[in-house]
Amino acid sequence: MKSLIKEGSPKTPSVRFDAGEGIVEIKGRSIPENSTEFFKPLVDWLDKYTANPATVTNVNIHLEYFNTSSSKCILDIFKKLEAIHKAKNQVIVNWYYEEDDEDMLEAGEDYESIIRIPFKLIEIQE
């Protein structure tokens, strides 16, 4: 399966979805003009990945900031990953946040309470 790699911009995060390595990674800022349009290829990729996931899928989310419309799209991604986890595959979510960023910590805690996947909230020293 082909990897999905997108370079980040000031308004969109960088994306690295690699089926061979079992990596789903989103980094940066997510304030695209149209969140649904930006995230659709990611959700579509995960639909295909669900059919034949890696033994272990490591999910690395390292966002500085995301807007409300992005939060819904991120939840859609987590729901796809939850389906992989429910199918008895190992999925580990690493949610990174900077030490003074209470909002990003709370966002991670909120997703952790909604989605039934093992979550690691990882504080980054600045």
Q: For residue 98, what are the domain limits?
A: 4-124
Average pLDDT score over residue span 81-95: 97
pLDDT of 108 > 80? The answer is: yes
The dihedral formed by the CA atoms of 4, 12, 29 and 13, expressed in degrees to the nearest 10: 10
pLDDT at 126: 74
Measured in residues, the chain has a length of 126
Structural domain count, the chain = 1
pLDDT digits (tens, 9 = 90+) for 6-48: 999 999 999 999 999 999 999 999 999 999 999 999 999 999 9
Q: Residue 62: is its pLDDT beyond 80? A: yes
CA atoms within 13 A on the CB side of 28: 17
What average pLDDT is seen over the chain?
Answer: 96
Instruction: Tell me the one-letter amino acid at 28.
Output: G
Structure tokens at 80: 């796809």
Nearest to 4 by CA among 58, 59, 44: 44
pLDDT-derived band at 94 (thresholds 50, 70, 90) equals very high
On the 0-12 / 13-18 / 19+ scale of CB atoms within 10 A, 34 is exposed
Entry pTM: 0.95
| pLDDT at 87 > cutoff 90 | yes
